[in-house]
Amino acid sequence: MKFLDQAKIYVRSGDGGDGVIAFRREKYIEFGGPDGGNGGRGGDIIFRAVPNLNTLIDFRYTQHFRARKGGNGAGSDRTGAGAENVIINVPIGTQIFDEDRETMLADLDIPGKEVTLCKGGDGGFGNATYKTSTNRAPRRADKGWPGEERWVWLRLKLIADVGLVGLPNAGKSTLLSVCSRARPKIADYPFTTLHPQLGVVRISGTEEFVIADIPGLIEGASEGAGLGDRFLGHVERCAMLLHLLDGTESQLVRNYRLIRGELHAYAETLAMKPEFIVLNKCDALTATQITAKRRALEKASGAPVFLLSGVTGAGLPELLRAVQDKVTAARQEEKAGIVGA
Q: Which residues participate in the annotated binding site for GTP?
A: 166-173, 191-195, 213-216, 280-283, 309-311
Instruction: Please give the pLDDT value at position 330.
Output: 85
Query: How many whole angstroms separate alpha carbon 315 and alpha carbon 185?
Result: 23
| C-beta separation of 96 from 116 below 8 A | no
pLDDT value of residue 1? 47
| Binding site, annotated residues | 166-173, 191-195, 213-216, 280-283, 309-311
Is the C-alpha dihedral spanning 173, 176, 177, 179 positive or negative? positive
Residue 22 near residue 8 (C-beta atoms within 8 A): no
What pLDDT tens digit does each residue of the chain (341 aa) get? 466 788 999 999 999 999 999 998 888 887 788 999 999 999 999 999 998 887 888 898 899 999 999 999 999 999 999 999 999 999 998 999 999 988 999 999 888 999 999 999 999 999 999 999 899 889 999 999 999 999 999 998 877 888 888 888 888 888 888 888 767 666 665 556 666 777 888 887 778 888 888 777 766 665 665 555 667 777 888 888 999 998 888 888 998 998 888 888 888 888 888 889 999 989 888 999 999 999 999 998 888 899 988 888 888 889 889 989 888 888 888 777 655 54
End-to-end CA distance of the chain: 40
Contacts of 136 by beta carbon, 8 Å cutoff, 6+ apart: 31, 33, 34
Phi, psi for residue 216 in degrees, rounded to 5:
-65, 150
Question: What pTM was computed for the model?
Answer: 0.76
* Residue 223 pLDDT: 64
- Please report, in range form, the residues annotated as the binding site for Mg(2+): 173, 193
Note the residue count of the chain. 341
Domains, the chain, in order of start with CATH, read 1-156 (2.70.210.12), 162-340 (3.40.50.300)
What are the distances in angstroms from CA 8 to CA 50, 231, 312?
A: 19, 17, 44
**Alpha-carbon separation of residue 122 from 75, 195, 262, 298 (angstroms):** 19, 44, 50, 64
